[in-house]
Amino acid sequence: MSNASDWTVRLKAFHEKQLDRPRRVYRLGRTKILLTRGHIACTLGAAFGAVSVDSPDWLFWVASVGGFVGGKYFYPVPRSSVASPYGFRELARKSPGDLDFMTPAEIRAYQFNVEFVQKGVTPLALGTEEALGRQREAVRTVSLATGMDAAPLAQLSLADVKEHGRTVDRHALLKRRWLTYEVDPQLQFDYPAMSDTSLPTTAAMVRAMRAADHERTTGNPVEYKLAVDRFSQALAAAELAAGVP
């Protein structure tokens, strides 16, 4: 019974993920029947499978219906589609600037929606492929420059990827600023409190710095930016307490 419940939960979770995955939707002729590629593949696969084993007619139809129902569940019309009853309806044309503030998933959803409503429109005309190309190039550049895994960055908009790159640069600048108090003999003499972790402000600064270092490796750009903000504030507070002008 427990295994059955586990499978039910897993299937529901899979279905929810599929609902959030942008995909192209097709209408069957002039009917109201909507299909995705996965849905079509499931239906045809089940039908061909039944034919290949020389099954009776009733089994062919059972397999076809089963493939149709299964395909509808495993490869549904996504929530982001204009064809979805609870879907996204905004179809105003997007400028290149607008696209740069959209995630790759949002760009794909926009492209598929326009293609569904306006037959014959191309990704080239929409500018979506160029926008995705700009985002991929930014991910590659930032990933190489920072050493961060590209996978989390690939889910972000171009604007957010560039913002992450600026966060990395700011983090490095803050660390260099702190390091001068550790390696410069004159600064060590003038501001010994900056190296004294027994002081609350200095200890808080070191903790914030370590937290920022940790967040950089976790692959969550939002949390990383917040951690760098806290490090910046803690460093400024430690400098103020140490008497740094």
* Domain edges within the chain: 1-85, 160-242
Greater model confidence, 50 or 138: 138
Burial state string for 60-99 with b = 16 or more CB within 10 A and e = fewer than 16: beebbeebbebbbeebbbbbbbbbbeebbeeeeebeeeeb
Residue 26, strand partner residues:
35
Q: Which pLDDT does position 1 carry in this prediction?
A: 45
**How far is 61 from 46, CA to CA, in rounded Å?**
9
The per-residue pLDDT for range 184-231, each reduced to its tens digit, is: 999 988 999 998 989 999 999 999 999 999 988 777 888 999 999 999
∠ CA 154-172-132, nearest 5°, is 20
